[in-house]
Structure 1
Amino acid sequence: MGKGANLVPNEADKSVSEEIKNFKWSEIRQNKWIVIDNHVYDVTNFSKKHPGGKVILMNNVGQDATDAFTSFHKDMNKVEKYLKTLKIGKVVPESDVNQNEERKDELNKDFQQLRKLAEGMNLFKPSGWFYSLHFLQLIVLDLIGTYIIYKSGYDNWLTYFIAVACLVTTQAQAGWLQHDLGHLSVFKSTKMNHLAHRVVIGAIMGFSSNRWNNRHFKHHAKPNAIKKDPDIRISYFYLLGKKLPEEIGKKKKGWLPYNLQQFYFFVTLPPAGVILSVVEQYIYMIRYMKIMDMLWISVYYLRWYFMFASSLGILGAIKLTFLVRFFYSFWFIWSTQMSHLPMEIDYDKDLSWFRTQLITTCNVEQSAFNDWVSGHLNFQIEHHLFPTMPRHNLYKIAPHVKQLCKKYDIEYQCKTMSQATFDIYNCLKESGEIWYEAYNS
């Protein structure tokens, strides 16, 4: 009986051990699997069904995606149901790990502790008052702009441009709100965040919710990574970083004078970016049949028609749309690009999540104006490290991020608004000169 009692658990242990397969990193990279918390997942077939899109998964295959996974997924209970069906084994601890890999693992563990600290400080809890007041400003500004147009129309150019300023501010601040909703940081419920996101970005701004999510999360997962971050895929018009300008210059390619891009960037990218974004989103919606996005955008155009067509006529309402989007584009581009363009732009090096965000992202100094005008994305570092954290809490975790940077000798860049803007000019100038020298060598 004693022997039998000992044999049963041994047999059970044997069957369990046979079920759990161990894989080396070489196998994981070769088969393009993903690792989360040392567990291996085969996402080959699931990638097509992934709610965030196939590309964002493919950009992380063969790598440890633990921190990226944790940063993007809020409802872990729901996600676990999918993960269980994809799990195929565990990672084999390798004895020949070099010092850099050990340091990377240590940093990953410290960052996970930092996340637990943020959770303990309730920094992922949104403030209802903050977002209610933020939404209220959209309504007030929109009503003021509409009232001025209704009363004055084109009769008084001063009041007309005051109305335009109100409407531009509405779009800019709506842009920051939809950004928060897209990151699931406004409501506790994921469904409520998704619904409100469609309303704000669709009905108020006239853009596609699905297309924004699909593009923006690729950027967050691999910021400034060549061929993986869609926000830097503008090489036909501008060359960014040091690698691409040299590569393209050596190939004798370039149909624009990139050595002058620091001048034409500021006046061409904002409006061109908005136009391309509108064209891309309609192609995306038609290709993937995003009917709900089309319906919400139609609400935007109907709203704009009823608000302004009676005072300005249909042509006048269309002109107003382009004018508002033109000025909004400058606000949006300048507020977002100063945090990324001057930073490292290179091919994906499979660095730790923490180090990746710090070398590709910088902050702008805190002030009431900077917080408001940038939608708190002057804390871009903290936002990239914790994408689902409500933006009004980002400054609270910043001192702890700085401490971790100091421990691992990682530079934490925080600039003045003027310096950050001027650095865009400097980095574009440097990239253009690299291209010019390679092209003419």
Structure 2
Amino acid sequence: MKNLPMGDKQELQDNEFFNRFSEISNFTVLLDETKDSNAPNILLTGLRGVGKTVFLKKIKKLFEKDYLVLYLDFSRAEVYQKNNMSVEGLMNFYYKELIKESKCYGLNTFDKRIEKFFKTNNFKIKDFSSLNSFPIPIIENETNSEELINFVMDLPNKIYEENKDKIKGIIIFIDEFQIIKELDNYLESFLWKFRSFIEEQSNVAYVFSGSMSLQDQLISDIASYGGVFGGRMITFSLEPFNKKTVKEYLSERASNLILTEDAFERFFKCTSGIPAYINFFGRLLPKDIELNENDIEREFVDSISVFSIQLISTWSGLSSREQSIIISLLDGPKRRIDIANILGLTTGSLSNFLNSLQNQGLINMNKSNNLYELCEPMLVRWLKSEYQNKGIYPYRKI
């Protein structure tokens, strides 16, 4: 009998992967056009836990024999981890990962490292020393941010041109791309700079991915007809599993999980069809005994803190103001002014907090009605469970 993989596993073996056949087929057809100088640019979106990273790493395996394939997780960049976001920091992260992957493919990059040093730094004489009465200049260097961006963004194309006898093209996956929203005032110019290089690289394909709904403003900034790419970026949304797929998945991968029809309906409602939650919850449920709807509800309440551990950690890292905003949205979407009235604040004072929550993929503003809404269903269920059991929301650090 096959087992359900761990819910937080980011790379699955072939025998663990399930479904997504049409998405894989569409991606492979598009990306393979890179070898014919028709490299596509793709934006992959989807809710947290829906399997975007697993999906991308599956696609990576399919192409890494013939292509140089780079998987970048922007959330691993030091500047993000240290809460000091900057374009310079992201570009240095991009550069280091590209050089490292190129070396793994056996591509020579030594000259690129030397070139980077001289092209992306401004040099000046800081002082003079002396040796046997001869003046010796002491040179100081300072990074030129614009030259650094130009060099790094052009580097994939240079690597391809020098190695096209070894590789068919270059495919670059940039995961957790939504964190660039923390660049704030520099965001739009950064996106335009990105576009200017991408459009000139016919053998370098880009796939951007992140925990974003299709309502996210960044999607509009990038992929809409009024956005930076002017509607020329292909947009895919990786959707949760539907009921039929979940039933087939459990039947194949957890055949000793015995659910009545009502129990299955409750299971689907609890997990929202999100693969990570299906795997977590499915692994925690009793096996080889029939479970009814009440059993699922009880097990869900008892175990929600276990498979929501990552979200609980995120919650603990929020400010009390951010937590209050989320709690104000638990009973439904609201206008900005309604949130402000509930919290006893002015609408202007909410800006930074609302932006931060959107950047973390916890809330979203629906552009069609200008209502803020929660977009992490498991966090909603955990908070409601905490209130039901304890009569108070968990504002303090956990």
Q: What TM-score range do you get, normalising by the shorter chain?
A: under 0.3
More helix by share: 1
TM-score by length of 2: 0.28
